[in-house]
Structure 1
């Protein structure tokens, strides 16, 4: 969905500011009441480049990039870059330190044997972190995702940079393909009770550049994926976490699938099939067969790191498995996120609430 990716992390900060406390059952407060904020409703007409920038009326939004990369020797890497904007209260943005926005960045690099992640927090209004539509730029400190000068369109030619104590990456992302509106023309349902987000993607990025791990640099290339979502209450009170896949098929299609787990039923399962030309088809529960096959023990948790995924209507039957089963994001709220591979493609998997 990414509900992706994780506006929920900063909801630790929001919990002290909401008028109503988060229901105890909901994952990280994402089911808490948001009546004072703008609401997600069907029928939105997206406007670009404006919608690449922030949406201050909504409580939560994020810019999220993943990349599946290889070097010339066949070594496999995964890269994640996420920026979250979180409003502490409803109302227009304020200048300087009066601004009530909190920004959060998550970045990570994964190989078959190593996984490193880092996070940063920033207060809005003072320039340390922000996002703008034209020219597109999203940043927190020196972690940056920005349109290159002279690009034909805001997301056609991008640079992605981040670093941590034991890793760094600097990638060039390009695409001439159209954006993809997820769900019902960008209205992405998260439950049968009406929770939703506005959600679009660019699943056709090609990435190239450098990745460094433990002081060793690698020249890499491969497919990348951008997700953009914003909402004010993306989960229901009984929804406890999610399993989210973004997959690049060797035959040219792209696939996004997510399952939101809940305490009072089997969960909410949906997705989007994206053909090689960028045309989409919404997938519903009856269209998708998803189940975990094997788990990995991490810090006392059993994390599903090998899955069976079938889309019978598309003649797809695959077994995505983690490149590195120990890709645990040990951050403010821990979760699992890392690259996956399967016979016929690669992708990314995020799992929360375990």
Structure 2
């Protein structure tokens, strides 16, 4: 890991990567394709969150005296389990992560996500990674296909493509993925709480307003009980643990913002979701999140949480620096977050024209925990700085 001098934190720069020319040409082509998909989808679907037939939207709720009306109040409220199913919106994804343990004491971290972009052109992308936390060895794979390789499921979904599967119903979830030299096969239950996330000060849970970047529905199931098998190097192990599930969809533009996103299981049984949005001028747009437990979920108020960047890790493959260590200042105390394996970059330039960091992390401080950190948009920051030179 490349640790920065703490005295220079306020002077951090996102140095450009050293990409080879063929990689740059390939990424440029894919970026044009992906941007076209998103732009067409947003234009076609602007203002609509359901493909056909759209439900009539209620009138905007009256705001308390002195408080402006929310755009989100005019949208249909979150409706589960029906909203587990695909919506036909411009952008949608179903995301899973977890740190699972075997009886031997060995532990493995994984994430798997299905992206669907809708418009005149439709395509589906699947990303997955598996990390052996004993050795630090990481397996990653991805696929992209035109259209949507899914069959209709009442209150759920069933995506299948080649050796990939992500299936969900009100009673269970099934995940299957194959890598070069490894595979995962997990069955997940649906017990546990559902958390509808809300922006600071918002009265509409489950819907986030990103301003000029659009509006997104967003909820989580932080602790789906999972069991199954992991195969690494020809050896199969039975594993189990809790898996974090996220579902997000709407008419929003993923290319105008970057984010630092945390999903943490804490030792007292509570769950922390936290995100910091930033624009391509590195300005902080929003810091928000939710702390949930068996008694309920409470979104953080504006200014109640602070994220302090720490050390960076620079990818030897792309030259992109990522802030992989953080201090999270909560009302209840500080958390120090560090990665299990710093080398957790996911190069998806071949499927979604971007590069991001996604890896398992551990938390110490006022309370212990573990979970996942996602760093997105750093590749665009690097490219922008390279153009400015």
| TM-score bin, normalised by smaller chain | 0.7 to 0.9
Report how far residue 304 of structure 1 moved.
1.5
How do residues 227-242 of structure 1 correspond to structure 2 at under 5 angstroms? 227-234=246-253, 237=256, 239=257, 241-242=258-259
- Give 1:276's aligned residue: 294
Instruction: Give the corresponding residue for 2:85.
Output: 53
Could you state the TM-score of these two structures normalised by the residue count of structure 2?
0.73
Runs of 4+ in 1 over 3 A off after TM superposition: 9-12, 16-20, 234-237
The 1:17/1:168 distance shift into structure 2, 3 A limit, reads closer
Any idea what SS the aligned residue of 1:42 has? helix
1:337 aligned onto 2:358: yes
Report the CA distance between 1:334 and its aligned residue: 1.5
Q: 2:82, 2:155 within 8 Å by CA — same for their partners in 1? A: no
SS of equivalent to 1:286: coil
Q: Which residue of 2 aligns with 1:350?
A: 374
Q: What is the aligned partner in structure 1 of residue 54 from structure 2?
A: none
Aligned counterparts of 2:81 and 2:128: Cα–Cα separation in 1? 25
Aligned counterparts of 2:145 and 2:265: Cα–Cα separation in 1: 33
Please list the CA deviations of residues 284-340 of structure 1 after superposition, one character each: whole Å capped at 9, or x if unmatched.
44111112211112132221222111211xx14211211111011122221110111
| CA distance in structure 1 between the partners assigned to 2:194 and 2:288 by the alignment | 19
Match of 2:175 in 1: 160
- Cα distance between partner residues in 2 of 1:194 and 1:120: 27
**Aligned mate of 1:144, from 161, 165, 169:** 165
* 1:109 corresponding residue in structure 2: 130
Deviations along 1:116-166, whole A, 9 cap, x unmatched?
2111111226xxx1263426333231311224xxxxxx3442221111112
Greater helix content: 2
Which deviates more, 209-218 or 103-112? 209-218
| SS of equivalent residue, structure 1 residue 51 | helix
Q: CA separation of 1:234/1:176 partners in 2, compared to 1, >3 Å: closer, same or farther?
A: same
**Cα–Cα, structure 1 residues 186 and 165, in superposed 2: closer, same or farther, change >3 Å?**
same
Q: Which segment drifts farther, 323-332 or 134-143? A: 134-143
Cα deviation for residue 42 of structure 1 reads 1.1
1:133–1:202 distance in 2 versus 1, CA, 3 Å: farther
CA–CA distance in structure 2, aligned partners of residues 53 and 221 of structure 1? 26
2:283 matches 1:259 = no
Change (3 A) 1:53 1:71: same
TM superposition score normalised by structure 1 = 0.79
Q: In the TM superposition, what is the alpha-carbon distance from 1:83 to its structure 2 partner?
A: 0.8
Unaligned residue ranges in structure 2 (runs of 5+): 1-28, 50-70, 199-203, 379-389
Give me the CA root mean square deviation: 2.5
Distance change >3 Å, CA 326–CA 186, structure 1 → 2: same
2:103 alignment partner in structure 1? 72
1:41-63: CA deviations, max 9, x gaps?
5132222332111112x211011
Partner Cα separation in structure 2 for residue 326 and residue 338 of structure 1: 8
The alignment covers a number of residue pairs equal to: 308
List alignment gaps of at least 5 residues for structure 1.
1-8, 21-32, 90-99, 148-153
